[in-house]
Amino acid sequence: MKFLLLIGFLVLILTWWVDGGVGAITDSMVELTLVQSAIPKGAVCLDGTPPGYHIQRGYGSGANNWLVDLEGGGWCNNRRSCLFRSTTALGSSKYMDKTYFSAILSNKAEENPDFYNWNRVRVRYCDGASFAGEGYDNESGLYFRGQRIWSAIMEELMGLGMSSAQQALLSGCSAGGLASVLHCDNFRALFPSQTIVKCLADAGLFLDYVDVSGLHGLRSFYDGVVTLQGVAQNLPERCTSRMNATLCFFPENIVNEIETPMFLLNAAYDTWQIQYSLAPVSAIQDGPWKFCRLNYAKCDSSQIEFLQGFRKNMTTVAESFYQSKATNGLFINSCFTHGQSVLPDTWYGNNSPSIANKGIAQSVGDWYFNRSEVKLIDCPYPCDTTCHNLVT
Ligand SMILES: *[C@@H]1O[C@H](CO)[C@@H](O)[C@H](O)[C@H]1NC(C)=O
Ligand SMILES: *[C@@H]1O[C@H](CO)[C@@H](O)[C@H](O)[C@H]1NC(C)=O
Ligand SMILES: *[C@@H]1O[C@H](CO)[C@@H](O)[C@H](O)[C@H]1NC(C)=O
Ligand SMILES: *[C@@H]1O[C@H](CO)[C@@H](O)[C@H](O)[C@H]1NC(C)=O
């Protein structure tokens, strides 16, 4: 499973790379900054190397505004998968390099109309528990220090001027979207009350749903992550005091109690969740889900019905989240994809996905700047003709 997750992630990176074209790439390649001062704090990647981030400074009207984007890339749930991860850029800064800033991180107004001139940061993900673990495994020598990495990087950014931000947005995609949910109120707490602070979770609405064989597969997987990496102590106590800590790693059990304004952006047919939570290889044998899980066009009517049930579950969770706070925002489109703020074609392009003619960058901007309320829930598949679907 771990291996497949990694492949999925690499494909995402490759798509994104090809997308930009070589000219654009050199234009927006951003150097890696390693945080050596994090080492004495024990804020290290799985293999003990220092954590890192990339930054482009803001200018003009954006000079005092900060966008902090948390990198995603799955999780590791046991010694074996964490050891493997520690030999990649998702577990060790030895393998990290420059990165390409595009979509929500782009510095061009025509690609990123509301945030292009802000200070923009991507925080690299090298702990394997959405920046929320705390522990050390003597047997493997692996460090589980996601929470410390979070704190060390935030401290570094505060020292670079984020402490006097007028406006700030914490974002993240996939495991980074979950991290944005988990850390949203911590992020808010860094700033004085007059700073406007909000959070965006893209493709972070991982649901505690049953898989096609009737098991709670993702719940078992998350149980491994939470237990191995000592995550429970960093989850909101108002959740862990009333239910099993593993359940508190699921956004549905914590988003309604986040105090900071939050925006959930998610595809109703999230392809990561279809492939690794609803129809994982372990649950499908050689059965009819083998092709449908990779390409919705190969699903029969009963499989589509199962996916409609999943969408219903997601829209119910989303609706309840929206009702929980007047400052929340929502964009749940009926597409088969995963992560729409990190790709130029889905974030802000001529034919980007939209609901009621409103695209994703515009929706997030309208919500962030109070230009309008944003509560967009798409009609069910196959009504949306604006999707950029991922099929294999
Ligand atoms: C850690 O492992 C070493 C040997 O690998 C052992 O000597 C030591 O007692 C262990 N420490 C703990 C706290 O388990
Ligand atoms: C979502 O589905 C799960 C079963 O997989 C169920 O336990 C839960 O109550 C559902 N939630 C909502 C909000 O419909
Ligand atoms: C929490 O839930 C997980 C997954 O269902 C289970 O394996 C674990 O034993 C539970 N922990 C406790 C303390 O009940
Ligand atoms: C949006 O409105 C809220 C509530 O009135 C206010 O606190 C906040 O400062 C406004 N945000 C922006 C970006 O104007």
Ligand 4 atom showing the smallest separation from residue 368 Cα:
13
Closest by Cα among 81, 68, 94, 58 to 6 = 81
The 3-state DSSP class for residue 339 equals coil
pLDDT at residue 287, as a whole number? 83
Question: How far apart are the C-alpha atoms of 369 and 327, rounded to whole Å?
Answer: 11
Q: What is the DSSP letter of 29?
A: E
Q: Is the CB of 223 under 6 A from ligand 3?
A: yes
Cα atoms in the Cβ-side hemisphere of radius 13 Å centred on 333: 29
CB 227 within 8 A of CB 291: no
Q: Is the CB of 371 under 6 A from ligand 4?
A: no
> Could you read off the pLDDT of 143-158 as tens digits, one per residue?
999 999 999 999 999 9
Closest by Cα among 69, 70, 84, 86 to 4 = 84
> Could you read off the pLDDT of 19-55 as tens digits, one per residue?
334 444 456 899 999 999 999 999 999 999 999 999 9
Q: What DSSP assignment string belongs to 155-224?
A: HHHHHTTGGG-SEEEEEEBTHHHHHHHHHHHHHHHTS-TTSEEEEEEES--------TTS--HHHHHHHH
The catalytic residue positions are 174, 270, 338
Contacts of 232 (CB under 8 A, 6+ apart): 226, 240, 245, 248
Question: How far apart are the C-alpha atoms of 6 and 284, rounded to whole Å?
Answer: 20
Question: How far apart are the C-alpha atoms of 288 and 306, rounded to whole Å?
Answer: 13
> Could you read off the pLDDT of 269-293 as tens digits, one per residue?
999 999 999 999 989 987 889 999 9
The answer, yes or no, to whether residue 311 has pLDDT greater than 90, is yes
How far does residue 370's CA lie from ligand 4's centre (Å)? Answer: 6
Closest by Cα among 358, 202, 351 to 270 = 202
Q: Kindly report the protein residue whose alpha carbon is nearest to atom 6 of ligand 3.
A: 223
The average pLDDT across 65-84 equals 98
pLDDT at residue 28, as a whole number? 84
The average pLDDT across 115-122 equals 98
Question: At which residue do the structure tokens 């092709």 appear?
Answer: 291
Question: What's the one-letter identity of residue 332?
Answer: I
Asked if CATH classification 1.10.3470 holds for the domain at 4-258+355-374, the reply, yes or no, is: no
Ligand 2 atom showing the smallest separation from residue 320 Cα:
13
pLDDT at residue 12, as a whole number? 46
Average pLDDT, the chain: 94
- Domain ranges, ordered by start, for the chain: 4-258+355-374
Q: Kindly report the protein residue whose alpha carbon is nearest to atom 14 of ligand 4.
A: 369
> Could you read off the pLDDT of 209-218 as tens digits, one per residue?
999 999 999 9
- In angstroms, the first-to-last Cα distance of the chain is 17
How far does residue 160's CA lie from ligand 4's centre (Å)? Answer: 25
The answer, yes or no, to whether residue 14 has pLDDT greater than 50, is no
Residues in the chain: 392
- Identify the weakest region by mean pLDDT among 170-179, 242-251, 280-289, 366-375: 280-289
Contacts of 15 (CB under 8 A, 6+ apart): 343
Contacts of 128 (CB under 8 A, 6+ apart): 46, 74, 75, 76, 81, 82, 85, 90, 91, 144, 146, 225, 229
pLDDT at residue 27, as a whole number? 62
The answer, yes or no, to whether residue 362 has pLDDT greater than 70, is yes
> Could you read off the pLDDT of 78-91 as tens digits, one per residue?
999 999 999 999 99
Q: Is the CB of 196 under 6 A from ligand 4?
A: yes
Q: What DSSP assignment string belongs to 229-291?
A: TT-GGGS-HHHHTTS-GGGGGSGGGTGGG--S-EEEEEETT-HHHIIIIIS-HHHHTTSTHHH
Ligand 2 atom showing the smallest separation from residue 210 Cα:
5
Contacts of 29 (CB under 8 A, 6+ apart): 98, 99, 100, 101
pLDDT at residue 286, as a whole number? 79
